[in-house]
Every structure is written in C-alpha cells, then in structure tokens.
Amino acid sequence: MVDGAVDAVLTATAGGMRLEWDVSRDEARLLIADSGDSGAPQGDFTVWTGSLLPAFELDEGGTALYVKAAAKACALGENGEWRIGLDLGEHGSGLLVCELPAWGLRIKRLEAHWSRPSRILSLQFGTRLLTAAERRRTPDAGTVHWPDWSAEGYCVPAAGSSPTHSFWRSWDMGDARLPLGSFGDAMGTPYAAAFPRPLYAAAMGGRRGWLAFGPGEVPDAPLTLRLRSATACIHYAYREDLWEPADDLRRVWNEPLRLARGDSGYEALGALFDSFGPFEPKSSRHLRSFLCTWGDFKEKRFDLRRFVDRVSGSAAADMIILDESWETFDGSAEPNAELFPDFDADLAIIREHGYELAFWQSVGWTDAPELQGLTKEDLLCGPDGEPREWRWSGSPFGAKFHYLLDPSSERTRRLIVERTMRLVARWRPAALKLDFGYGYPGPDAAAPRDPAYRGERLAYSLLKLIYDAAKSVDPDITIIYYGIHPLMRDVADLISIDDLGDAGDSAAHEIAGHNQRCLWASLAARHGMAVNTSTGYYYGALGSILLDTAVVGVNGLTLGETDNDGSRMEPADLNRWTALQTWRRRTCGWKPLWLDADLGSLKGEPRLGSWGRLEAAPDGAGASRLTALTLRGDESAAFSYPVAGSVSFTGRWALIAQDDRDIADAERVACIPFAAGELRLDRSFSRVQVYASAGGKVTPARTVEAGDLPERKLMVTEGELASIAGFVIEG
C-alpha cells in the first residue's frame, strides 16, 4: 500500500479468526474459517460486521446534526501504527491512530478539528448514514442514521435480573440502551447496580465466535450499548448543548475503542481484559471475609450488641461491615447517635470478639451539604443552575433523595479527602465498602462543571479520591467495590459479588445468579483482583453460594438474623461457613478450570457445575496448580474427572489445598461435604482428620487411617452434614 492511499484493508489473524477492516468503505468483519464439520461448503463464516470510523452528533441550533467521518488517507507509521486521516466534511477534519495486535484492534487516538465552534451531543462507533431506500424502512421517517454492528446476539454480563441473564439474540431487545459503565437508570437504561459494574465492555457474536469491545481508558462520557432493532453501536453521551465543552474547536480521545475476539463471550471479554496486562496480583491481605449488618439494618434492627452476641459464638469472619444507616446521613462519616447511642463502646465489643471493623461509604451522595460547608457551587446542578437530587432507582417519586457531590469543586474534593482520612484515623477500619458510584444522573440532567470529571470519570474520580485518602492514613486498608474491569484496579482491592438481591426475589434466582456471577468474577481474578462472594436475602441459597466460594475466594454474609422468608441459618450451612473460613485459599490471582460448565451462549445462561481454581507456581515458572475444586453431582451416579490425579464422587464437595501445591500432591487437602455422598481421590495419603465446628472454629473429632477407609473413600450421610464440618487428608 502506498502511503496516503485510502484503499487499505487492515487485517489481524489469530486462532483461526480474522478481523478485517476495509478502511475506504468503512466495512469491518470478524471471520472464522469453516472446518466443514457442519456439512456446508467450506469457507469463511462471518461472526460480526460493522463500521469502525467514528460518527458524531453535533448541536446545530437546537437540533442534532449527524456527521460521519470518512477516510481520506491511510498510512503505516514507523512504529507499526496506522494513521487514518478523517474527513468531516464542512465541519472539519480529524485523525484516527490504530494498531492491530494479535488479539484484535486498538484505536489508540482519535482527534477532531472543527472548522467552527462545535458542541458534541454524542460520539458513536458503529453507526452510518442510511440510504434513501433504507430511510423509507425505518420506524421513524426522520431517521437519517442507524447502528450497523451486526451479529447473532449480545453478551452483557449480568445486565438483566429476575433471573440474572447476560445473553440475548440480536432481535430480542428491540430499542434499548444497556449500561456498560456507572450510569444505568440515570440514562433511561435498566438499573445498573453493584457487581459487576462498571464493565466498560460488552460482546457480540454467536455460534462460531465472539467479539468483545470497550474503551481502553475511563471515558469522559456515559458509556452505553445502543440497540435498535437487530443492530447496535457504542454510544458516548456528551450533551454539550447543555454543558460547556473544554474546547469547542479541537477534541482528543485516547483509547476510545478496543476489539478482542474469542470463541465465547467469556473468552472474548477475557482477551479484552488481558490486553490491559501484564498484572501484579493484589496483596493477599485484601482477602477478608465479612459479616455485613445490612440484613439487619434494612429490617430496622440496629442493636449492634445483639448483632455481635448472635454471630460471635458461631459465624467467624475477618470483619464486620457497618452498612448504610450507621451515619447521621449518607456521606457524613459521623455515627448516628439516635440509632447507636453507645457507638464507640459497641465497636470496642465487636473488636473484643475478634472482628475487625469496616464501614460502608457512599461514593458521592450527601443529604446535608450545608452542614458540611458546601453550597450549590459544590454540587451537581441542572441546566437551571439548581442542585439536582437523586435516589438509587432514578424515580422522581419517593421519600429519600440525595444531593450529589461535584468533584470539580476544590471544596468538595477537600471534603471527601478530609472525611475519609478522619474516618480511617479515628476507627482504624480494616476496610471501606464503597457504594453507589452508579447513583448519579447522566448529562441529560446534570454534569460536573469541569469537563475533566464528566461521564464515567465522575464516579471513577470520586473513587480515586477516597482510595488515595484512605491509603494515605493506612496503606494496608482494603477498599471494596464491584467493577470487574482492569481499569478498576487503581480504585479497589477487593471485589464483592453484591448486591445479590438484584438476581431476583427468590432463593432459586439467587442460586442461579450467584453461580453465574462467579463466572464473571473469574475475569477479575484472572487479572489478580481479590474476590469476595456475598449472599442475598435467602438462606436457602447459602449452601450453593458457599460451594462456589471454595473456588472464588472468601465468604461474605449480608443476611440478617432471619431472611425474607423468616428462615435462619441451618447447622449444616454454619459448618460449611466455618470450614471455608478456616481452609479457604489465601492468594490472589487465579484462572478457572472448567469441568462441568457452560460459559453461556445464545442458547442459555452460564452455569457452573464442577469447576476449579488454577494458580501459577509461586516462582512464576512451571505449570499452573489446581488448588481448589467445586464438585456438583448427585447421590446415585458417580462422577469422575481426570484432575488431581483422578477424582470420583457422588453428592457435592469442595476441595481446597492447604499449601502451595496441587491437590494431587498437597500435604493437606480440606474436603468439605455439601450433600450426602462419597469422595475418592486417586492419590496417596496416610490418614484423614475429621472435623466438627464449635464457637466459629473447626474442632478435631477423630482420626481415620487411610487403610481403614472402605475403598479409600470419604463418606457422609445427610444426617451427618449438621455435625461434620469437613475432612482433611494428610499426606
């Protein structure tokens, strides 16, 4: 290709997949070679098609003017980057710089130079102008452009609830905007609370493969996947008709888009996340289990002494989280004396029982700005200049609303820093649980005064302020949040699979939802994050949740004294909780091993049956070690897997190595029963220690020599589940 020519086809090939982009036509596609197994003629199968040059909506006297970039030159630079000159017609010119690594496509830089002052309503990737004939086929006669990313369907992890769902066929959603960042209901999209957001990513694909996409930097606009009929685009909302831009003649975006391919939605997202590496695992000190007061606080049970008396004799954990309601108002960092008249004495009692403390903190809400020395200049205001109010659901109806902190204000930033440092210095908590970074309206209603804090950067910058302030007082403190994307590594240490209530209002929905969330959580574990599982509001789901926790990380409990059905924790689940607290893995950074698992597709949602945890060798050399297993079977037919030597079992079991070796040769392996059944490990061992639990600790019950076990099997009956916490095989 001659430098400056436009007729370039950029290509990246790996793993039997080929990403092609005809720059002059702005036609891209992901192709996979057809093996011929289907019986059809061999050839390339198209997984995804769409355009990649940017498009803009500009404010033109109160109406939206659509401007699609065209390529006017394409040249390969000395460092392997492609530089594509953009023609924006009478509106100006631009530049797009990209590269094609083995995993896909990376748009490193986008520039727009406007011929006259311009205000951007939106930036889009994956839209184009309609022809006259196409315009006659749209549902709106005034439509001039349309999304053109096309595939069999979509993958947006945990985007839907009741029950949790992450996959749709292309025509299932109709007209919709799906939140990929911290803005959900605020943008007229489905509620986007808690785990696993912000995602900053999604995927399109189908039977033959998938393509994941998202930005490489936290963007300065709310990020959504815009669906129209059966096609889609990435949409960045600016609304600069309402808010002053930083520069109305020139705009630069760094890393506005990355594309990565994979055989499944999970693997494509994994490849996209891997492109941000290499990663250093988080410190293992952040793997902290918790008991959270929310289950009691939401039912207006605020007696902390009763709480600790109830849990201290049974449910061991590293810390107790004081959830929302502990403050005088959200964002004050001062205890509510009406609800907790003996607050400091209560905290002392919690510590006396062996628990560390953690505190819930709203990321950007305040209920009484005047008490904090703030004026409306320090708050998010609407176009009318008056402070906006907001609540978690986005509904204008209700009783409790919050004002919103604007990080553009030096006074606001100082408040956040001083408040955080005061809290950490005063009570020395082990962790802060941050929440409601998704509790902001979008630019249709409000925006920070400083453009540098707008869009997805709003929540991120607030999280970063809190993170850095807390670490300045205690470098070892753990910051808990939800987002699984690698870009969240600098603002969080521990990811909590919370709020499980979003999975749906039943134990069955919570079981399926948590099981699926464990799959998505493993994407974060792959880049070294600490992960903590959590419950919802039904004790009937606890057994399944704890079984997956054996692989994922450490346990967390948000359930109160009774659940939504009035049920309490069963003795068998208490045994399992105590066993996991004692024998859990204490390392960060692992990859999943799928044994009996469905990673999800357009045919159905993800389901994890039996699966494992692979950890790199301590010195980084050699093969990965299988250090934990979750095994799901039934009582009648034995299942076998050629792992850890060989494992055969009936029922349900969790296996956890107690050293840095593979389960096949670890000196001690904890085997925790979750259902009646038998377990046989084809490996050498000399004896088995049988443990019960009491007072939140495992206690030795008896020792059995290996030769005395029938067929060298561990066996447990349904009646024994309430008395046996687990077995430990000793080499």
Structural fold of domain 287-362+408-590: TIM Barrel (3.20.20)
How far is residue 654's CA from residue 673's CA, in Å, rounded to a whole number?
7
Q: How confident is the model at residue 185 (pLDDT cuts 50, 70, 90)?
A: low
Mean pLDDT calculated for residue range 68-75:
96
Mean pLDDT calculated for residue range 558-571:
92
Q: How confident is the model at residue 44 (pLDDT cuts 50, 70, 90)?
A: confident
Kindly compute the dihedral angle of the four CA atoms of residues 713, 718, 724, 727, in this order, to the nearest 10 degrees: 20
DSSP 8-state code for residue 197: -
Mean pLDDT calculated for residue range 205-220:
97
Burial degree of 65 (CB within 10 A; 0-12, 13-18, 19+): middle
Q: 262 forms bridges with which residues in the sheet?
A: 210
Q: Is the pLDDT of residue 569 over 60?
A: yes
Q: 257 forms bridges with which residues in the sheet?
A: 107
How far is residue 137's CA from residue 148's CA, in Å, rounded to a whole number?
15
Q: Is the pLDDT of residue 191 over 80?
A: no
Mean pLDDT calculated for residue range 170-174:
89
Q: How confident is the model at residue 574 (pLDDT cuts 50, 70, 90)?
A: very high
Q: Is the pLDDT of residue 123 over 80?
A: yes
Write down the pLDDT at residue 458.
97
How far is residue 234's CA from residue 216's CA, in Å, rounded to a whole number?
13
Query: CB of 84 within 8 A of CB of 24?
Result: no
Q: E-assigned strands of 591-696?
A: 591-598, 607-615, 625-632, 639-641, 647-649, 652-657, 668-673, 677-681, 687-694
How far is residue 15's CA from residue 616's CA, in Å, rounded to a whole number?
24
Q: Is the pLDDT of residue 426 over 90?
A: yes
For the chain, give the mean pLDDT: 94
Provide the b/e sequence for 309-348 (b: ≥16 CB within 10 Å).
eebbeebbbbbbbbbbbbbbbbbbbbbeeebbeebeebbe
Strand 70-76 and strand 82-87: pairing? antiparallel
Q: Is the pLDDT of residue 412 over 50?
A: yes
Q: Is the pLDDT of residue 413 over 90?
A: yes
Q: Is the pLDDT of residue 47 over 70?
A: yes
Q: Is the pLDDT of residue 3 over 50?
A: no
The answer to whether 9-275 and 287-362+408-590 have equal CATH topology is: no
- Which comes out higher in pLDDT, residue 165 or 627? 627
User: Of 362, 133, 81, 118, which is closest to residue 244 (Cα–Cα)?
Assistant: 118
How far from the centroid of its chain's Cα atoms is residue 130's Cα?
Answer: 36
Query: CB of 320 within 8 A of CB of 429?
Result: no
Q: 630: number of CA atoms within 13 Å, CB side?
A: 30
Type of residue at 644: A
Write down the pLDDT at residue 530.
97
Strand 389-390 and strand 668-673: pairing? unpaired
- Which comes out higher in pLDDT, residue 266 or 42? 266
Mean pLDDT calculated for residue range 339-351:
98
For the chain, domain boundaries: 9-275, 287-362+408-590, 593-730
- Which comes out higher in pLDDT, residue 177 or 611? 611
Q: What is the pLDDT of residues 679-714, one digit of tens each?
A: 999 999 999 999 999 989 999 999 999 999 999 999
How far is residue 667's CA from residue 662's CA, in Å, rounded to a whole number?
9
Q: Is the pLDDT of residue 193 over 80?
A: no
How far is residue 305's CA from residue 300's CA, in Å, rounded to a whole number?
14
Q: How confident is the model at residue 2 (pLDDT cuts 50, 70, 90)?
A: very low
Q: How confident is the model at residue 502 (pLDDT cuts 50, 70, 90)?
A: confident
Q: Is the pLDDT of residue 498 over 70?
A: yes
Q: How confident is the model at residue 190 (pLDDT cuts 50, 70, 90)?
A: low
How far is residue 332's CA from residue 83's CA, in Å, rounded to a whole number?
50
Q: Is the pLDDT of residue 1 over 60?
A: no
Q: Yes or no: is domain 9-275 CATH 2.40.10?
A: no
User: Of 144, 248, 154, which is closest to residue 210 (Cα–Cα)?
Assistant: 154
Query: CB of 307 within 8 A of CB of 293?
Result: yes
Greatest Cα-to-Cα distance within the chain, rounded to the nearest angstrom: 87
Write down the pLDDT at residue 36.
57
Write down the pLDDT at residue 99.
96
Mean pLDDT calculated for residue range 718-728:
96
Helix (H) or strand (E) holding 112: strand 104-114
Burial degree of 12 (CB within 10 A; 0-12, 13-18, 19+): buried
The number of helices, as runs of H, and strands, as runs of E, in the chain is 10, 45
Q: Is the pLDDT of residue 422 over 90?
A: yes
Query: CB of 224 within 8 A of CB of 180?
Result: yes
Q: How confident is the model at residue 220 (pLDDT cuts 50, 70, 90)?
A: very high
Q: Is the pLDDT of residue 463 over 80?
A: yes
How far is residue 270's CA from residue 264's CA, in Å, rounded to a whole number?
10
How far is residue 596's CA from residue 329's CA, in Å, rounded to a whole number?
47
- Rg (C-alpha) for the chain, rounded Å, is 27
DSSP characters over 317-386:
-SEEEE-TTSBSSTT--SB-TTT-TTHHHHHHHHHHTT-EEEEEEESSEES-GGGGT--GGGB-B-TTSS
Write down the pLDDT at residue 187.
53
How far is residue 672's CA from residue 684's CA, in Å, rounded to a whole number?
19
Q: How confident is the model at residue 315 (pLDDT cuts 50, 70, 90)?
A: very high
Mean pLDDT calculated for residue range 342-361:
97
How far from the centroid of its chain's Cα atoms is residue 118's Cα?
Answer: 35
Query: CB of 112 within 8 A of CB of 245?
Result: no
- Classify 441 as helix, strand or coil: coil
Q: How confident is the model at residue 27 (pLDDT cuts 50, 70, 90)?
A: very high
